[in-house]
């Protein structure tokens, strides 16, 4: 019955649009807390689901669900101070859309039905579009238009792909519920040709949402125009949801004996994404866009790791967790800079270490984290992915991968150093405060803790996913 909480959260979101702003805020906060409780309850008892023909708690789903839940709580905490400073004229749209967005993402992480997951992912697009649109400036209009159009069109292709998966069952005269679980059971009976076509469409479709190049073009615009908390949620949670759908379909293909085909595609798309991100990260004028390209890079790494399989797939899941934590902390910190300097341009920002010492420390720490330095988890995950790649004998791919990572690091280092140490005369507008720093500290701290300490339940989850991968990849 735990999943019924989802309906309450969804209704909360709708209710916010019709109540006073103050009550809306309470609803906003309470949804986050309710969501956390729901997640914990689901982790403790994953069988307790009412709509069990549509929803199911899978290990990978629960990992993503707990990321969403935790991130949302941190973002709520940040939003308290954020909403005070920014004085939105249409605050209901912000809080309401955030809650609707949360419920849509939760539905993605729980849904087992192949069509329902499409409905949920499209719902995430629709509920997050108002967040990007919130300032109603020319640029945000442009970003919203691109976001809605590109993502809707892309996801429509994924629907076609899902139909093809169903068709590959129909054509063989099998009739079973359209769930990932059932498909996994009968995977080797499905029609191979159609399944391949289906995977291409699904990869392109959900890949658009996940930010895989060359379908990534909406991502830098949307992430840079959305308000800080929203971009943190977009980057940290939404991209994972799209990845989940690809991951589940990939599993069906591997079970159907088409693993070579799907994994090769994932590797190719992963490498292209990292390459595109590396190219564009070298020349950027906007620090939020820079972070957005970093998201594209990391999504590429995750797709790559999943495609390589084995140890690398384990690394990919680890990477997903740590990327969410670190990237959302970076996006929240970048909002502090935006408050202080009033500009997203790197040239108009500088001397962070003197003017905003705490945010700058967070920024540097986040930068080291995202670039793969110890003690942050991304070091571990990238290490595992490279090890996995070498183990599979893909030496040339591994070399390209490492080189691209170095280029990305170079690009980021150039701009981060400029932001923090460049000369800047003039004062900052809105100083940093404790409420807008604590969530980032917590996020980074969690990343470190997860690297050094092993928690049984998390490890068992990841290794459960890994068992899948290892069995599948042999």
Binding site for another protein (CB under 8 A): 54, 113, 115-116, 118-119, 122-123, 125-126, 129-130, 133, 136, 138-139, 141-146, 148-149, 152-153, 156, 159-160, 163, 166-167, 170-171, 175, 178, 193-194, 220-221, 224-225, 280, 283-284, 289
Of the candidates 209, 204, 324, 223, the residue with the CA atom closest to the CA atom of residue 269: 204
Q: Is the distance from CB of 235 to CB of 291 less than 8 angstroms?
A: yes
Report the nearest approach of another protein to the CB of residue 280 (Å): 5
**Cα–Cα distances in angstroms (integers) from residue 353 to residues 246, 418, 421, in the given order:** 41, 11, 6
**Cα–Cα distances in angstroms (integers) from residue 300 to residues 7, 210, 268, 275, 367, in the given order:** 33, 9, 9, 9, 18
**427: buried, middle or exposed (CB in 10 Å: 19+, 13-18, 0-12)?**
exposed
Between 28 and 164, whose beta carbon lies closer to another protein? 164
In angstroms, the CA 201 to CA 245 distance is 12
DSSP code at position 57? -
In order, the DSSP letters of 284-340 are -SBHHHHHHHHHHHHHHHHHHHHHH-THHHHHHHHHHHHHHHHHHHHHHHHHHHHHH
Between 170 and 347, whose beta carbon lies closer to another protein? 170
Between 167 and 186, whose beta carbon lies closer to another protein? 167
Q: Is the distance from CB of 290 to CB of 284 less than 8 angstroms?
A: yes
Report the nearest approach of another protein to the CB of residue 115 (Å): 5
- For Cα atoms 343, 300, 455, give the angle at the middle one, nearest 5 degrees: 95
Between 207 and 309, whose beta carbon lies closer to another protein? 207
Report the nearest approach of another protein to the CB of residue 145 (Å): 5
Peptide bond before 405: cis, by omega within 30 degrees of 0?
no
Report the nearest approach of another protein to the CB of residue 221 (Å): 5
Peptide bond before 46: cis, by omega within 30 degrees of 0?
no
Between 125 and 447, whose beta carbon lies closer to another protein? 125
Report the nearest approach of another protein to the CB of residue 285 (Å): 9
CA atoms within 13 A on the CB side of 230: 29
Between 361 and 407, whose beta carbon lies closer to another protein? 407
Q: At what angle do helices 438-452 and 59-86 cross, to 10 degrees?
A: 160
Between 216 and 251, whose beta carbon lies closer to another protein? 216
Report the nearest approach of another protein to the CB of residue 274 (Å): 16
Between 224 and 263, whose beta carbon lies closer to another protein? 224
Report the nearest approach of another protein to the CB of residue 138 (Å): 6
Report the nearest approach of another protein to the CB of residue 318 (Å): 30
Between 153 and 445, whose beta carbon lies closer to another protein? 153
Between 194 and 266, whose beta carbon lies closer to another protein? 194
Report the nearest approach of another protein to the CB of residue 466 (Å): 31
Between 47 and 175, whose beta carbon lies closer to another protein? 175
Q: Which residues of 18-31 are buried (b: 16+ CB within 10 A; e: fewer)?
A: eeeeeebbebbbeb
Q: Which two tokens stand for residue 68?
A: 């969403």
Report the nearest approach of another protein to the CB of residue 407 (Å): 16
In order, the DSSP letters of 190-254 are S-HHHHHHHHHHHHHHHHHHHT-TTS-THHHHHHHHS-HHHHHHIIIIIHHHHHHHHHHHHHHHH
Report the nearest approach of another protein to the CB of residue 44 (Å): 29
């Amino acid at each position: 019955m735990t999943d019924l909480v989802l309906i309450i959260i969804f209704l909360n979101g709708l209710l916010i649009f019709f109540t006073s702003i103050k009550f809306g805020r309470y609803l906003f906060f309470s949804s986050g807390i309710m969501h956390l409780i729901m997640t914990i309850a689901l982790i403790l008892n994953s069988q307790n689901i009412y709509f069990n023909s549509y929803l199911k708690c899978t290990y990978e789903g629960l990992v993503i669900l707990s990321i969403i839940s935790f991130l949302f709580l941190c973002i709520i905490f940040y939003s308290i101070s954020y909403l005070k400073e920014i004085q939105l004229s249409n605050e209901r749209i912000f809080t309401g859309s955030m809650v609707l967005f949360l419920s849509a993402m939760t539905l993605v992480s729980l849904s087992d039905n192949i069509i329902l997951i499409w409905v949920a992912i499209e719902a995430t697009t629709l509920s997050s579009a108002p967040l990007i649109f919130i300032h109603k400036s020319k640029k945000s209009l442009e970003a919203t238009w691109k976001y809605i159009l590109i993502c809707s069109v892309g996801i429509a292709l994924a629907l076609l792909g899902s139909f093809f998966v169903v068709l590959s069952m129909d054509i063989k005269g099998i009739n079973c519920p359209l769930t990932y679980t059932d498909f996994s059971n009968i995977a080797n009976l499905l029609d191979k040709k159609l399944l391949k076509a289906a995977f291409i469409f699904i990869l392109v479709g959900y890949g658009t949402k996940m930010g895989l190049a060359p379908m990534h073009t909406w991502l830098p615009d949307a992430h840079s125009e959305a308000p800080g908390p929203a971009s943190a949620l977009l980057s940290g949670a939404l991209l994972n949801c799209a990845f989940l759908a690809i991951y589940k379909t990939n599993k069906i293909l591997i079970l159907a004996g088409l693993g070579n085909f799907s994994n090769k595609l994932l590797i190719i798309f992963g490498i292209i994404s990292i390459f595109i991100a590396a190219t564009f990260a070298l020349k950027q004028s906007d620090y939020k866009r820079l972070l957005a390209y970093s998201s594209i890079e990391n999504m590429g790494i995750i797709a790559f790791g999943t495609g390589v399989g084995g140890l690398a797939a384990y690394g990919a899941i680890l990477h997903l967790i740590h990327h969410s934590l670190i990237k959302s902390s970076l996006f929240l910190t970048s909002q502090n800079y935006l408050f202080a300097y009033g500009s997203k341009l790197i040239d108009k920002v500088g001397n962070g270490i003197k003017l905003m010492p705490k945010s700058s420390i967070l920024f540097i720490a986040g930068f080291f984290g995202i670039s793969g330095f110890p003690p942050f988890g991304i070091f571990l995950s990238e290490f595992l992915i490279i090890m996995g790649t070498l183990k599979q004998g893909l030496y040339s791919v591994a070399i390209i991968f490492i080189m691209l990572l170095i280029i990305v690091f170079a690009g980021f280092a150039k701009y981060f150093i400029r932001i923090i140490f460049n000369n800047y005369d003039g004062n900052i507008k809105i100083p940093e405060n404790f409420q807008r720093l604590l969530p980032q500290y917590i996020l980074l701290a969690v990343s470190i803790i997860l690297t050094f300490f092993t928690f049984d339940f998390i490890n068992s989850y990841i290794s459960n996913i890994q068992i899948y991968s290892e069995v599948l990849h042999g």
